[in-house]
Structures are given as structure tokens and as C-alpha cells.
Amino acid sequence: MSRIELTRFPIVKSAVKNRWPQLAVFIVMLAGYLFAILAGLIGTPVGSHNFSIVFVWIAWWAILILVAVPFFGRGWCAVCPIPLPGEWLQRGAVLNPPDKNPKWLNLRWPKALRNIWLQNISFLLLALFSSVLLTTPNVTGIVLAAMLFGAIGLSTVFERRAFCRYLCPVGGFIGLYSQAAPIELRIKDKQVCVTCDGKPCYNGSTNGYGCPWDVFPGGLTKNTYCGLCMECIRTCPHDNIAINLRPFSADLAKPSARMDEAFKAFVMLGSAMIYAGVLLGPWSALKDAAYKVGTGAWFIYAAAFLGIIFIIMPSLFAFCISRFENLKSFKKRFATLSTSLIPLGLMFWVAFSLSFVLTNATYILASLSDPLGLGWNLFGTAEAAWQPLLTSILAPGQTLALVGGLVWSVRTARKAASEARVSSIPVIAYCFTATLVMLWLLL
Amino acid sequence: MKRPELLSRILIVAATLGAIGAPLFFWTRTPLIHAQMAEDGGWSPDVIQAEVGKPLHLRLTSDDVLHGFAVGQMQMDAVDIEPGKVTDIELTFDKPGIYTFFCTRWCGVNHWRMRGTIEVSGSDPEPVLSKADGAPLYVSLGLDIDATHDAPVIPETQPSAISGQQLAANLPISQYANPHFYRANSPYQLYENLNSTDLSDSEKWDVVSYIWESNTTPEALANGSQLYAQNCAACHGENGAGDGVFADDLAEAGESSMHNMTGAAEMAMQTPVDFTDSKRMLGASPALLQGKILRGGMGTGMPMWGSIFTEEQIWDLIAYLYSFQFIYQGATQ
């Protein structure tokens, strides 16, 4: 299947080039985000009736993992409100072109940290506390506020969207999985970019800002670090940048060889499996340990969590693909072959999320009418009773997602193995075993 | 500043104010009474002001588990308070005084600590808690309700009021079948009074059983049974054996809180009383049990119920407690 340029349709192009549609969405998202913080801090402490828990961890998460990431890649980043106040502050404007002289420190992000290791860590930090975070509104409120103010703080010190690019715990895995999505932003003609004066897409111009994600669109070969902010489409003087519809997992045909991205794949795959065991499994002691943050049991849980993700799963993978050779080539092969885990991890998350999203979706109705638990009934749905949805299709749906993920991974593994010039069978065996374990955990 | 920039800033400020200011405004104007398990704070606020004759509208919500709400010394049905939801209730007080509101659901081991007060002001000269009859009976009798009161003799089998009724027909015992005697004396004291008869030990206990039943009514026993199930069974057990769902937790809490005291005696105070223990129950008069219920266990897990139960409710409850010892004709146990 060849690519279809969506921006060649006038309605799409004008919607992207005009700042107002995106700004309108931004404003709604920002208001919702601020309200979620407020609800977490002043609303009922009962998570199932608090807007911050219900709309962030059920509604938003469902949209993100079941729709936005698989089909739109970094589509969420295109409308995410977290970087906006910091970015507006950084530029001193909402719509106007920025001043030539920076208003703030405008430092470059440290070279040693120009990778996603910090995002791996920030995700794991939230993951280790997730049992509390996902159920306690004021903790969710504090974390949401911390992310907002963290992004604002970084915007005043570093150039562009340093928080999104290097720290956001969500942005890291969205970037990883966006490689599998059927949407991309790419240049149309490389030669045009080579000869373009001033590279306004990266440096900014009177038409707009330089890439907030610190990416030169002319060099884009994969979705990972393009936040789909559309700014380059507005600044490109040659109309050389397009949004394309493309086949799924197009970026995975040319695997990355970066260890930070390889470990992100293990972080996500392992987290999905551990969550399935802890949150959905029958082991109450495990669940208790995850909830009792700070106790000895929790420290054991945390050590096991990190051990599985950073030692056991990568070691098993390394064992599967090991051959006698020098370390450098092994690391490259390790990172290349771990690309196979990207579709598998994405579908693990889809299968896991189906379970708790369908189970808890009806809380959305009640929370919509009474978001703070103050006894309101804004839309007449405050008394909506809790009941799991679509229970009959849950298990088949999860099985389909997991088996589909395995097939997708096998296809990716064969391409990656071909790239690394090794057999794909050990990687396929690893993915098969992981899928069996996930099936056992979920079904 | 260009107009689009200005407009965008106005929209952002408006949205921010709308998202934060509006909910805050309504939040500050929606006072709720929050219920939490006692170890997390209980009722908040736990003191409420009201006026005689003026309806008091309360909005109750639970911050954790299912709780209940009722006001002591008042004819009202308890209402449930569900987590994250708001329950509206309206109360009107006829008399001034300090009323106690309390949780009616077994929400945790410290459930009984979930209490608060409603201070009702008004010009009525007769406050709710002043007893027309004066001091409670156990006080006027001068009973030491903490003294040991075990019966020296207990029946070998559970006494039967049915058998006792037949035996009593031929005995001059009408003086015992009145509330004054019944409330002031223990079953064992009556048993001793029957020593002048020719009855065997078990027959005497059967007569005691009959006399005790004749001092209550099936309605009173049913009311006592309901009060017991709602308020006492969590600790004392549905069958009165001191083995309620919180008994183990109370013992554990008692053990941890008694490390600096003298051990077994204090430990025992944390264990709910076993109403099937014949020595203890047959040696206790209704007046003595009234004192224990009114005042509570003083340092044990036994709460004071004087501000919650009416006098009539306490007598009904006491009548029901003796049903753990006797086989009544109504057989309500």
C-alpha cells in the first residue's frame, strides 16, 4: 500500500495550517486538564466518583491506548495541554511569532541526556506507584500538577519542549508505539529541504516557530520524536511537508539500534505483564504489596518489578539471540531485534486496557454529572449504576489482540532479523512465550 | 498586540477561570458532612449547630466505605451514606440539647467511635437529655458496675420459661413479676429467694426464666433483638458469644495498646463480653446492665450508649440479652 497524502485535501490542509482549530482544541484540553487537577485536589477522595481518576485513568487512557496511539501515533501529543503554558511563556506569545531574543535562559538540553532514558525512568516511577496513583484522586491531582509545572519550569530553562522530548512519562511510549501507526508527518521532496534557506521549519520564521520537538523535518525517517504539532507545515515556505496515511508499522521496517529505545520496549512489555498480574490477577498479597507504598512488601514488589523489566526480560531476550561475538555488534543486534517487541507490547497494552476500561467505563457517566462528588446531577446521569460493559466479547477481544500482536511481532521480527542478518526464530520464540504468559495472566 | 493574539489570550484566561474558578465557587458553597472510618478522622465536621423547630438540612457523603447515619434519642430511620455519593437528609428537633449522631454501618473495628454531636439551641426549658425520672436506676441503687458480679451457682441446662410457668402457678411469687423487682435484682438473687420452696435447682432456674420473660413483652424482645443486631452483634456476635466480626480485631488492638500495662486483666477488657456466659449474665441485674450500656466500658472497646438509646430501648435490649440464657416461650433468639 502506498502513502496517501492527507494534506493535499484542502479541508485538511486549511485545518492544519490555520492555528485556530488547534488552539480551540488546546483551550478545551487545557481547561479539562486544569479541572482534573482541581477535581483531584478538592473532589471526593473516592476514585470511582472523581473526575480526575475517571477521566484521566479510564476515559483518557482508553482513548489513548485503544485509539490514539494505534491509529494516530503521536496524535495525543498534537493536542496535549501539558506543554502549552510553558511554551506560551517561553515564546511570550500564543499566536504571534516569538521575539528574536529569547525571553528565558533558552539552554540546549544536555547532550548526555538526549535520549529517552529519563522517560524510561519517569514512566517506571509512575508505574511503581500506579496502584495508589490510579485510585487516589489527590495523588493524581498532584502528579498532573507536577507535570504541568515541571513542563513550565523546563520551558524557562531549556529551549523548545524539553519536557515532552526528554521527560514526559507518557510521551516516551507514545513515541515508541507511534512507529506502528498508519499516520506520519514527512517531507515530500528531500532536495527542496537541502536547498531551503534558513530552514524555517527548524529555526522558525515570521510564519511560526521552529520545531518545538527539536527535530529537523527534512531528516525525519520515523515517527518517534515528531510530536505532530504541525508547526513545520505552517512555517515551510515551499509547502514541502505533508501528513500521510501509510501502512501500519511502516517505521518498524527499518529498526532502530538505540539501547534507550530497546529498553523502552522492555519497560512497556514488562509493565503490561506485571500490571495484568497485579491489577487483574487473583493474587491478593501481590495487590496488597503494590498498594502499601513504603512498606517492606512494597519494596520487594518494586525490586521485583524493576528486576523483571531491567534484568530478567532483557537477559532472556539476550540469551535467545546470543552468539559469540564482540559486545558492540551484540548491542546493535539486541537493539535491532527488540523492535519486534514494539507491536507485541502495544497489543499487550490494548488487551490489558480492554479489561479495566470495559469494567469501569460506566463510572464515566456518573462522574460526568457529578465530577467532584458534591451531589450534582448536571446531565442527569449521576445515578448511573456501575456495570461492566461488553463482558461477552472481552475474552475473545483480548485473545484477538494478543494473537494479533504476536503475528504482527513475528512479521516485524523477520524484517528485523533480516536487517541484522540472523535467524528470527529465537525472537519469535521469545514473543510466543511472552504471549502465552500474557494469555494466562489475562484469561 | 495584534487582535488575534489578544483574543487568544482572552480565551485562555476565560477557559482557565472557567475550569478553576467556577468549580471552586460552587465547591465552597456546597458544605458536606464527610464520613470516614474513625481511624481516618470519623465525621467531619463532628459538631453541627441547629435550632429547635427549624429544619436542619444535612448533605452527607462517605470518603471511603459504606457508612450509615442516625441521631440518638430521636425517632428516625437510619440512612446509608455511599462512597462518593451525597445523601440529603432533613431533621427537625423539638427540644434543645446536645444530640449524638453516629454511624449505623459496621464500617471497621473502630466503627463505634464514629460519633458527632448536634447542638440544638432553643428556648424550651426541658432539654432532650434531662431525664424526668432523675438519675438512672443503677445510680439510684448505688451499684458499682465495674465490680465482679458472677453468679456462684449456675444451671446445668438452659432454663425454660415454659416449664417455669407451670411450676410458678402454684407458688406465691407474684411480688417478683413486677418491674421494680426485676430491674433491681439479678436472676441469681431470685434463684436464692426461691430457696424457701421445695423446687429442685433446675426447677428454680426454670421459674427464674419464666419470671424474667413475664417482665418483658414479645414486642420489647423484638425491638431489643433489632437493636442488638444493628449495634451490638458486630463485636458481641449474632449469638451473643462475644465472637462478632470485629472481636479478633479488637483483641489485636487491645494487645498492642496494652503493652505497657499489666497484661491479662487489661487484655480481657478488650474482648467483647460473652452473653452466653451464665456466671456473668445470671449474676447481673438489669440495672447493672443498664449502667454498663449507658456508660460504656471505660477504656475498653465498649462504647457508651446513653446518648443514643432511649431508656425504653435500653430496657428492651437488656430483656433481649437475657434471652441468651433462657428459653423463652416466644423463642425470639
Q: In chain B, what residues touch A376 (CB-CB under 8 Å)? A: 26
Q: Mutation target for B interface from A28, A34, A88: give the one with most B CBs within 10 A.
A: A34
Q: Which of B8, B20, B84 sits opposite A49 (nearest CB)?
A: B84
Q: What is the C-alpha to C-alpha distance for residues A248 and A71, in angstroms, rounded to an integer?
A: 8
Say whether both A127 and A38 belong to one domain.
yes
The answer to whether residue A395 is domain-embedded is yes
Contact A46 B62 (CB under 8 A): yes
Task: Tell me, yes or no, whether A290 and A416 share the same domain.
Answer: yes
Cβ atoms of A94 and B9 closer than 8 Å: yes
The answer to whether residues A51 and A161 belong to one domain is yes
Query: Smallest CA–CA separation between B84 and chain A, in Å?
Result: 5
Pairing between β-strand B97-102 and β-strand B115-121 as defined by DSSP bridges: antiparallel
- The more confident residue out of B209 and B265 is B209
Range of weakest confidence among A283-297, A317-331, B42-56, B90-104: A317-331
> Residue A218 has what DSSP assignment?
G
- Between positions 13 and 52 of A, the ones with CB within 8 A of B are 23, 27-28, 30-32, 34-35, 38-39, 42, 44-46, 48-50
Pairing between strand B47-51 and B115-121?
parallel
Cα separation, A157 vs A106, whole angstroms: 6
Last residue of a domain, one of A178, A208, A233: A178
B137 SS3 class? helix
The B residues from 82 to 101 touching A (CB cutoff 8 Å) are 83-86, 88
Which pTM does this prediction carry?
0.87
Place of cell 517531507: A187
Q: Take residue B42 and report the three cell numbers written for it.
A: 470519623
Residues A425 and A314 placed together within one structural domain of the fold: yes
Nearest Cα of chain A lies from the Cα of B83 at a distance, in angstroms, of: 6
* Residues A133 and A34 both lie in one domain: yes
ipTM, 2 dp? 0.91
Contact A405, A348 (CB under 8 A): yes
A284: buried, middle or exposed (CB in 10 Å: 19+, 13-18, 0-12)?
exposed
Give me the pLDDT at residue A301, please. 96
- Domain shared by A174 and A284, yes or no: no
Q: Residue A197: inside a domain, yes or no?
A: no
Cβ-contact A258, A265 below 8 angstroms: no
pLDDT digits (tens, 9 = 90+) for A349-370: 999 999 989 999 999 999 999 9
Instruction: Please indicate, yes or no, whether residues A174 and A257 belong to a single structural domain of this protein.
Output: no
Q: Do A114 and A263 belong together in one domain?
A: no
Cα–Cα distance, A424 to B204 (Å, whole number):
92
Has residue A154 been placed in a domain? yes
Domain boundary among A178, A205, A230: A178
For B226, the 3-state DSSP assignment is: helix
Distance (Å) of CA B270 to CA B51, B106, B302, B303: 39, 18, 8, 12
Q: Is B20 on the interface with A (CB under 8 A)?
A: yes
Q: Specify the higher pLDDT residue, A17 or A100.
A: A17
What percentage of residues in chain B have a pLDDT greater than 90?
A: 71
Q: Cβ–Cβ of B18/A50 closer than 8 Å?
A: no
Determine, for residues A94 and B18 on separate chains, whether the beta-carbon distance falls below 8 Å.
Answer: no
List of chain B residues whose C-beta atoms are within 8 Å of the C-beta of residue A52:
none
Distance from CA of B108 to the nearest CA of A (A): 17
Which residues from B are below 8 Å from A96, CB to CB?
A: 1-2, 5
How far is residue A415's CA from residue A408's CA, in Å, rounded to a whole number? 11
- B129: pLDDT strictly greater than 60: no
Domain count of the fold of chain A = 2
pLDDT tens string B162-171: 999 999 888 8
Q: Which three cell numbers stand for residue A69?
A: 496511539
Predicted confidence band of residue A443 (pLDDT cuts 50, 70, 90)? confident
What gap in Å lies between CA B55 and CA B93, rounded to an integer? 8
How far apart CA A308 and CA A316 sit, in angstroms, is 10
Same domain for A148 and A256?
no
Cell of A285: 498479597
| B positions 21-50 inside 8 Å of A (CB) | 23-24, 26-27, 30, 32
Q: Rounded to a whole number, what is the distance in Å from the CA of A106 to chain B's nearest CA?
A: 23
Give the residue from A162, A178, A194 where a domain finishes.
Answer: A178
* A204 within some domain: no
- Within-domain flag for A66: yes
Helix (H, G, I), strand (E, B) or coil at A198: coil
Report residue B332's pLDDT band, with 50, 70 and 90 as the boundaries. Answer: very low
Interface of B with A in 52-71 (CB under 8 A): 59, 61-64
Q: Within this chain, do residues A43 and A163 fall inside the same structural domain, yes or no?
A: yes
Q: Which among A68, A295, A300, A286 is positioned nearest to A171, based on CA atoms?
A: A68
Is there a domain that residue A208 lies in?
Answer: no
Cell 512479521, residue located: A411
Residue A265: inside a domain = yes
Which range marks the domain in which residue A312 is found? 252-442
CB B33 within 8 A of CB B60: yes
C-alpha cell at B284: 447481673
Assign B333 a pLDDT band (cuts: 50, 70, 90): very low
Does the structure show a pLDDT above 90 at B257?
no
Grid cell 487537577 in the structure block, residue: A37
**Cα distance from B8 to chain A (closest Cα, Å)?**
7
Mean pLDDT value of segment A317-334: 81
* A87, A328, B27, B44, B173 from B31: Cα distances, Å: 38, 65, 8, 11, 60
Cβ proximity of B101 and B70 under 8 Å: yes
Compute how many other C-beta atoms are within 10 angstroms of the C-beta atom of residue B305. Answer: 22
Cβ distance A38 to B85 less than 8 Å, yes or no, reads: no
Domain check: are A394 and A291 in the same one?
Answer: yes
B23 CB neighbours in chain A (<8 A) are 35, 38-39, 42, 371-372
CA distance A193 to chain B (A): 30
CA distances from A50 to A54, A374, B6, B45, B252 (A): 6, 10, 35, 21, 34
**A3 Cβ contact list (under 8 Å, min separation 6):** A184, A244, A245, A246
Tell me how far CA of residue B163 lies from CA of A313, B12, B198, B206, B328, in angstroms.
77, 86, 15, 6, 10
Cβ of residue B17 closer than 8 Å to a chain A Cβ: no
B3 contacts chain A (CB < 8 A): no
**Site from B11, B12, B79, B82 to mutate, A interface, most A CB atoms within 10 angstroms:** B12
Per-residue pLDDT, B300: 74
Asked if B84 lies within 8 A of A372 by C-beta distance, the reply is: no
Within a domain: residue A207?
no
Residues A171 and A311 in one domain: no
User: How do residues B276-285 score in pLDDT, each as one tens digit?
Assistant: 999 999 999 9
**Strands annotated E in A29-165:** none
State the count of interchain CB pairs (< 8 A) between A and B. Answer: 81
DSSP of B237-292:
-TTSSS--TTHHHHHHHHHHHTTTS-SHHHHHHTSPP-TT-HHHHHT--HHHHHHH
